[in-house]
């Protein structure tokens, strides 16, 4: 069995060698310390098997060979008994790209976390459950894993509407002067929505604001069994905040969890906020580009001129500039010289 060319016909353990070689190749292709070590242990076992003149028939036969450890012997036994190697089939059916996509589908998991878990040997969502492989999820990631399918599916717009119709009167019961509007894909008229985006603000002409409203609203929505889990809650009361969570239609058996975002903004910025959170994101990019070409800057607070940025750190503003338009979407379109577009037309 020492030459590759004639091993097919003469080696009594060729089926075993073939499977171990495939597994070795997979580990070799992964440049992690751990995989390099595994590839090496298969190389040793394969070399021994090639020079073995008799058929290996059991775990005992295998583990008796020099260079074959306990774990490799178990794999050899599986190949002898079933003709297959589950580990290999698994590795083949779950390549890195597939696993990366699977893991980043968990709310709160980014590329670096997904890669780290992959390198720890995790390949399936099952591998991430119950602290297997020593992998620990954050509380938010736990929620993301538990409701993986719900969070990764879109809801019919009628469901977003039903949920919003539960929420709006509760908000108005806290303060009937609130401005409560649904934005995002729903406002653009899409037939299905990935989440529900709700804007809350209040006309401050009477000297009052929506300060503290979101906190009270969230509590009431939890009590009404509309909100079910918090993913990111603002830690202080502010006029400009963002909340992310899960919700469902209350009192309906089997109602699925849905993603929901609440945004609050100042009364003055409501138009800019509506424009930004209605999207879509490509439309927003084209509007920002238009603003930049005119020497302006557009964000969720308004359209600004004379913004001075730090040349070596563009995200830092040395002067926040003066506001040109922010109260209505129409004003912003007008100043930019862009013909008015209804929300459903704002797709690029």
Closest-approach residue to Mn ion (CB): 261
Give one DSSP letter per residue of 165-222, joined into a string: HHHHHHHHHH-TTEEEEE-HHHHTT-SEESEEEEEEEE--TTS---TTHHHHHHHHHH
Residue 184 interacting with Mg ion (CB under 5 A)? yes
CA 28 centroid distance within chain = 29
Spatial distance between the Cα atoms of 183 and 343, rounded to a whole number of angstroms: 9
- Cβ nearer to Mg ion, comparing 197 with 329: 197
User: Does residue 181 interact with Mg ion by CB under 5 A?
Assistant: no
Q: Which is nearer to Mg ion, 206 or 281 (CB)?
A: 281
Quote the least distance from Cβ 154 to ligand DCP, whole Å: 6
Residue 197 in contact with Mg ion, rule: CB under 5 A: yes
Given 28, 57, 75, 293, which residue is catalytic? 75
Cα distances (Å, whole numbers) of residue 176 to 173, 199, 213, 243: 6, 15, 11, 21
Question: What is the arrangement of strands in the sheet containing 227-232, beginning at the earlier edge strand?
Answer: 178-182, 195-202, 258-264, 242-247, 227-232
- HSE (CB half, 13 Å, CA atoms) of 37? 4
Instruction: Provide CB contacts within 8 A for 293, sequence distance 6+.
Output: none
| Nearest residue (beta carbon) to ligand DCP | 279
75 is catalytic: yes
C-alpha closest to that of 109 among 139, 154, 149, 153: 139
Q: Which residues bind ligand DCP (CB under 6 A)?
A: 184-185, 193-195, 197, 276-277, 279-281, 284
Q: Interface with Mn ion includes 229 (CB under 5 A)? A: no
Binding mask 248-287 for Mn ion (x = CB under 5 A): -------------x--------------------------
Give the shortest CB-194-to-ligand DCP separation in angstroms.
3
Rounded to whole angstroms, the Cα distance separating 145 from 136 reads 12
Q: Of 48-56, 170-178, 192-200, 323-331, which segment contacts Mn ion by CB under 5 A?
A: 192-200
Q: How many residues bind Mg ion (CB under 5 A)?
A: 3
Q: Of 61, 77, 181, 197, which lies in the binding site for Mn ion, with binding defined by CB under 5 A?
A: 197
To Mg ion, the closest distance from the beta carbon of 195 in angstroms equals 4
Within 213-327, where are the H helices?
213-223, 270-278, 281-293
Q: Which is nearer to ligand DCP, 271 or 279 (CB)?
A: 279
Using CB under 5 A as the criterion, which residues of the chain lie in contact with Mg ion when the complex forms? 184, 195, 197
- Residue numbers annotated as active site: 75
Using CB under 5 A as the criterion, which residues of the chain lie in contact with Mn ion when the complex forms? 195, 197, 261
């Amino acid at each position: 069995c020492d030459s590759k060319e004639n091993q097919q016909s003469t080696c009594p353990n060729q089926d075993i060698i073939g499977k171990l070689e495939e597994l070795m190749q997979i580990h070799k292709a992964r440049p992690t310390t751990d995989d390099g070590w595994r590839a090496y242990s298969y190389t040793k076992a394969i070399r021994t098997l090639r020079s073995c003149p008799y058929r290996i028939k059991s775990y005992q036969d295998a583990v008796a060979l020099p260079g074959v450890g306990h774990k490799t012997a178990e794999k050899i036994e599986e190949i002898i008994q079933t003709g297959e190697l589950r580990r290999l089939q698994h590795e083949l059916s779950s390549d890195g790209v597939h696993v990366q996509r699977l893991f980043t589908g968990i709310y709160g998991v980014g590329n670096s976390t997904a890669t780290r878990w992959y390198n720890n040997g995790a390949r399936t969502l099952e591998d991430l459950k119950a602290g297997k492989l020593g992998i620990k999820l954050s509380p938010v990631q736990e929620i993301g894993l538990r409701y993986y399918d719900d969070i990764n599916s879109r809801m019919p717009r009628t469901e977003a509407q039903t949920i919003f119709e539960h929420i709006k009167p509760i908000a108005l019961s806290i303060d009937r002067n609130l401005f409560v509007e649904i934005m995002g894909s729903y406002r653009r008229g899409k037939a299905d929505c990935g989440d529900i985006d709700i804007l809350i603000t209040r006309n401050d002409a009477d000297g009052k604001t929506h300060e503290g409203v979101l906190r009270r609203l969230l509590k009431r929505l939890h009590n009404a069994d509309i909100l079910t889990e918090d993913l990111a809650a603002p830690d202080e009361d502010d006029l400009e905040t963002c909340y992310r969570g899960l919700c469902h239609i209350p009192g309906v058996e089997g109602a699925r969890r849905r993603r929901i975002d609440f945004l609050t903004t100042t009364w003055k910025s409501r138009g800019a906020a509506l424009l930004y959170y209605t999207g879509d994101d490509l439309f927003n990019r084209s509007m920002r580009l238009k603003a930049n070409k005119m020497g302006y800057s557009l964000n969720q607070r308004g359209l600004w001129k004379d913004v001075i940025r730090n040349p070596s750190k563009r995200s830092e503003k040395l002067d926040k500039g003066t506001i040109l338009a922010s109260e209505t979407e129409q004003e912003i379109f007008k100043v930019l010289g862009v013909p008015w577009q209804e929300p459903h037309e704002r797709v690029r």
